[in-house]
Amino acid sequence: MAVVTYREALNQALREEMRRDPDIFLMGEEVGAYQGAYKVSRGLLEEFGEWRVRDMPIAELGFTGLGVGAAMVGLRPIIEYMTWSFALLAIDAIVNAAAKMRYMAGGQFKMPLTFRGPSGAANQVAATHSQALDSWYAHVPGLKVVAPATARDAKGLLKSAIRDDDAVIFLEGELLYGMKDDVPEDEDFLIPLGESEVKRAGTDVTIVVHSRPLHSALQAAKIVEEEDGISAEVIDPRTLRPMDIDTVLESVRKTNRCVIVEEGWPVCGIGSQIVDDIQREAFDYLDAPIARVTGADTPDPYAQNLEQIAFPQADYIVKAIRHTCYRE
């Protein structure tokens, strides 16, 4: 175990997996000579050469489709987007090709692709570069969607995503790259896709949260414990599709109250789906309506003060917890 950054954990995962399997290659903008726009691929070009660490022109649709073609014939591409906002240019290749082609071919081949890059809130880069489109991808059958919030999860989940035989959308938190955490050095350290983790045990309310807002939720849990004596259980699904909802249900059946937090927009968000699962399967256990804390239903504003209030903050989560626990 060593304390490393989220960025370094991802780098370890890439390096270890590429050493293990020569069919894996990394492709994207600035992944090679520049060492990665966020330095996640630092040193990989030097170790693996240009056929395995390939700088591409700014052509997201082109190199995403390229990854699909290479995966169809058995390679295991990792396609990096400089940010997930740019993947909007590749949406046809992701949704119509990567997600569906296996089905349309009656299962004749696999689609062992990993699409990865920074996602969610960023610092003052404004509306086109800062957004959480997690639910877009989670909507699509044929895709798996992963969004780690810690360095440890980032490493274990990326390794599993790369080894998976299906197309995986891997959403890295743009503001998490510098965050440090204990990360196992073991090359076989894997976190299976589709497993939630209880990040903090509690008894009075369940908070379901993924990606960067996990850290705000943990802060909020501490505040309500100290100020209100509320014991909050914090669960990170980590994989958004397929989601381990059983862990959430088990917790809600115990706490009878739930707050769901995400960076994305409120309408048809990840939380909307979780609410649906809870109301169907734990309706009789609920003592209060479920509360949601989301990103503001606006494009991300540039001004620092506006941006700060646009994404979920610990104090909004505190308010939602108190409301749900009838402590206002």
Partner 1 sequence: MATRVTQSDELLGLDRDKLIEMLRWMILGRRYEQKAAEMYQLGEIGGFCHLYIGQEAVAVGAITPLRDEDYVITAYRDHVHGLVRGMNPRAIMAELFGRIDGCSKGKGGSMHLFDISVNFMGGHAIVGGHLPVAVGIGYAIRYRESDAVCVCFLGDSVANIGAFNESLNMAALLQLPVIFVIENNQYGMGTAVHRAAAIENLADRACAYAGMQGWTIDGMDVLEVRRTVEAAVERARLHKLPTLVEAKTYRFVGHSMSDPNYGHYRTKEEVHHFKSTDDPIKQYIDILKKHSMIEEADLDEIENEVKAIVEESVEFASQSPAPPPSELYSDIYSGDYPDIKRRDPWRW
Enumerate residues 166-185 that contact partner 1 by CB under 8 A.
166
Question: Locate tokens 């003052």: which residue?
Answer: 124
> Which stretches of the chain are DSSP H helices?
6-20, 44-48, 60-72, 91, 101-104, 134-138, 151-163, 213-228, 245-255, 270-281, 304-310, 314-324
Q: Which is nearer to partner 1, 54 or 212 (CB)?
A: 54
77 versus 156: smaller Cβ distance to partner 1: 77
For partner 1, the binding residues in 267-296 under the rule CB under 8 A are: 277, 281
Judged by CB under 8 A, the chain residues 188 through 227 that form the site for partner 1 are: 194
**Least distance to partner 1 from the beta carbon of 172, Å?**
23
Q: Which two tokens stand for residue 176?
A: 């998490």
Supply angle C-alpha 146, 148, 151, rounded to 5.
145
Q: Compare residues 146 and 224 and give the one whose CB is closer to partner 1.
A: 146
For partner 1, the closer CB: 106 or 304: 106
Structure-token pair, residue 133: 């489109």
Residue 49, interface with partner 1 (CB under 8 A)?
no
How far apart are alpha carbons 48 and 44 in whole angstroms? 6
Q: How far is the CB of 197 from partner 1 (least distance, A)?
A: 18
Residues 62-121 close enough to bind partner 1 by CB under 8 A: 62-75, 77, 92-93, 96-97, 101-111
In the complex, least distance from residue 31 CB atom to partner 1, rounded to whole angstroms: 15
Least distance from C-beta 277 to partner 1, angstroms? 7
Give the residue, chosen from 28, 142, 148, 264, that forms a contact with partner 1 under the rule CB under 8 A: 142
* Sole binder of partner 1 in the list 61, 125, 179, 198 (CB under 8 A): 61
C-alpha–C-alpha distance, residues 45 and 180, integer Å: 25
163: which strand partners? none
3-class SS at 18?
helix
Cβ neighbors of 165 (< 8 A, separation 6 or more) are 110, 111, 112
Please say which residue, 101 or 261, places its beta carbon nearer to partner 1: 101
Query: What number of chain residues touch partner 1 (CB under 8 A)?
Result: 48
Are residues 131 and 300 in contact, defined by beta-carbon separation less than 8 angstroms? yes
Instruction: Provide CB contacts within 8 A for 226, sequence distance 6+.
Output: none
Residues catalogued as catalytic: 60, 129
User: Which sign does the torsion angle of CA 37, 43, 44, 46 carry?
Assistant: positive
Two structure tokens written together for 265: 């927009």
Residue 14 Cβ, how far from partner 1 at the closest point, in Å? Answer: 17
Whole-number minimum distance, CB 21 to partner 1, in Å? Answer: 13
Residues that bind partner 1 (CB under 8 A): 25, 51, 54, 56-57, 59, 61-75, 77, 92-93, 96-97, 101-111, 141-142, 144, 164-166, 194, 242, 245, 277, 281
